[in-house]
């Protein structure tokens, strides 16, 4: 069974990026359901709930993870036998993965429309949705150039520049703190999201808020590429999106930190960009301003106020 292995890989970030995390969790749930041997349907549901919890506890910020798990687990709302429950879980898991893969392709098509021939783009971290838009614009033979950040402390920028280089896109690799220095050379910032709140605030890799702020000051547009399952329904009730704080050893080796008793190392993995710094959110359902986030939660995720009690 791959459940514990997948949970460990999400925690250690071997599997990372909000979309990939969601698909990996759903695959692990499906695999667990396929192999689960229990005597009755209630036990099946109980065991599946435990598995779902193990997966959702791995990383707190990417809302795609609980949204995806919830989508699959809704198969267990009503069922008559273990076999029927198993089938229903497997069907929903396959549906989610298919939807997710198509969503990323559709976002690339829609996002590429907002990239013009001759544009200089800037991206931060490694987002398959954001990168998809850039790669699609390039495939459409738009002449583009990209600035990609390093992304301290885990260096996800390296994954991004490899993909851009493989596609033959002219790319500038810069340290995170050089964004303000280069922002006037940039026409469009395009990033992904781990979560989007009902008020249109975007949670993404630490540093995104600073970049969006610099872009706002330079009158540079900011686009967020995100599947609808990155929207966070519970923010309707004012629930905050938890920001993951990772091991401090990622920032400063313990051997150095232990000799600095007055220094506390902090390592938040994500930050919140207010809606006012975001011009457009590109989803698989279309592109719209962040102020319309509630419509996605209501119309596409199907959450009504009464579901949240």
Catalytic positions are 125, 194
Q: Say whether 286 sits in a helix, a strand or coil.
A: strand
| CA pair distance 24, 14, nearest whole angstrom | 11
Least distance (Å) between residue 230 CB and ligand RUB: 7
Contacting ligand RUB (CB under 6 A), which of 192, 200, 207, 233? Answer: 192
Nearer to ligand RUB, 69 or 76 (CB): 69
Residue 147 and residue 182 in contact, taking contact as beta carbons nearer than 8 Å: yes
**DSSP H or E segment with residue 8:** helix 3-12
Q: Does 16 bind ligand RUB (CB under 6 A)?
A: yes
Window 251-270: contact mask with ligand RUB (x via CB under 6 A):
------------------x-
Q: Does 273 bind ligand RUB (CB under 6 A)?
A: no
Helices (H), the chain: 3-12, 18-35, 41-56, 64-73, 82-113, 128-139, 157-167, 179-182, 208-217, 254-257, 293-295
Residue 4 and residue 48 in contact, taking contact as beta carbons nearer than 8 Å: no
Q: Does 125 bind ligand RUB (CB under 6 A)?
A: yes
Question: Smallest Cα–Cα separation from 193: which of 62, 65, 48, 31?
Answer: 62
Phi, psi dihedral angles at 271 (to 5 degrees) = -140, 175
Considering only residues 126 through 145, tell me which ones interact with ligand RUB, judged by CB under 6 A.
127-129
State the Cα angle at 270 between 266 and 271, rounded to 5°: 95
Instruction: Name the residue with the smallest CB distance to ligand RUB.
Output: 192
Question: Stretches 24-32, 50-58, 168-176, 191-199: which one binds ligand RUB (CB under 6 A)?
Answer: 191-199
Q: Does 160 bind ligand RUB (CB under 6 A)?
A: no
Nearer to ligand RUB, 19 or 233 (CB): 19
Contacting ligand RUB (CB under 6 A), which of 3, 19, 82, 273? Answer: 19
Nearer to ligand RUB, 51 or 226 (CB): 226
**Backbone dihedral region for residue 164 (phi beyond 0: left; psi -120 to 50: alpha; all else: beta):** alpha
Contacting ligand RUB (CB under 6 A), which of 204, 220, 235, 273? Answer: 204
Nearer to ligand RUB, 51 or 133 (CB): 133
* Cα diameter, the chain: 65
Q: Does 18 bind ligand RUB (CB under 6 A)?
A: yes
| CA pair distance 299, 198, nearest whole angstrom | 13
Considering only residues 55 through 84, tell me which ones interact with ligand RUB, judged by CB under 6 A.
62
- Token pair 């609808």 is found at 228
| CA pair distance 79, 85, nearest whole angstrom | 6
Nearer to ligand RUB, 104 or 169 (CB): 104
Which residues make up the interface to ligand RUB (CB under 6 A)?
A: 16-20, 62, 125, 127-129, 156, 192-194, 204-205, 269
């Amino acid at each position: 069974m791959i459940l514990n292995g997948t949970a460990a890989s999400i925690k250690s970030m071997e599997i990372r990026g909000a979309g990939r995390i969601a698909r990996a969790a759903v695959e692990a749930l499906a695999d667990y359901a396929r192999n689960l041997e229990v005597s009755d349907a209630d036990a099946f549901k109980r065991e599946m709930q435990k598995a779902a919890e193990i997966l959702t506890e791995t990383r707190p910020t990417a809302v795609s993870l609980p949204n995806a798990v919830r989508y699959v687990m809704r198969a267990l709302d009503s069922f008559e036998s273990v076999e029927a429950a198993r089938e229903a879980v497997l069907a929903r898991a396959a549906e989610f993965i298919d939807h997710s893969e198509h969503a990323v392709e559709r976002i690339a098509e829609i996002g590429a429309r907002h990239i013009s021939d001759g544009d200089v783009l800037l991206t931060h971290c490694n987002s398959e949705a954001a990168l998809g838009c850039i790669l699609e614009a390039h495939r459409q033979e738009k002449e583009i150039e990209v600035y990609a950040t390093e992304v301290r402390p885990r260096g996800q920028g390296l994954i991004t520049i490899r993909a851009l280089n493989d596609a033959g896109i002219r790319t500038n690799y810069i340290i995170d703190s050089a964004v303000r220095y280069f922002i006037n050379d940039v026409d469009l910032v395009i990033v992904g999201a781990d979560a989007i709140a009902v008020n249109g605030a975007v949670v993404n890799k630490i540093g995104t808020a600073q970049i969006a702020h610099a872009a706002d000051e330079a009158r540079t547009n900011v686009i967020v590429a995100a599947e609808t399952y990155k929207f966070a329904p519970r923010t309707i009730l004012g629930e905050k999106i938890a920001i993951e704080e990772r091991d401090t050893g990622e920032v400063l080796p313990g051997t150095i930190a232990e000799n600095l008793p007055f220094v506390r190392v902090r390592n938040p993995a994500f930050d919140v960009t207010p809606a006012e710094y975001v011009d457009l959110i590109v989803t698989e359902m279309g592109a719209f301003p962040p102020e319309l986030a509630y419509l996605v939660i209501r119309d596409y995720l199907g959450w009504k106020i009464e579901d949240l009690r």
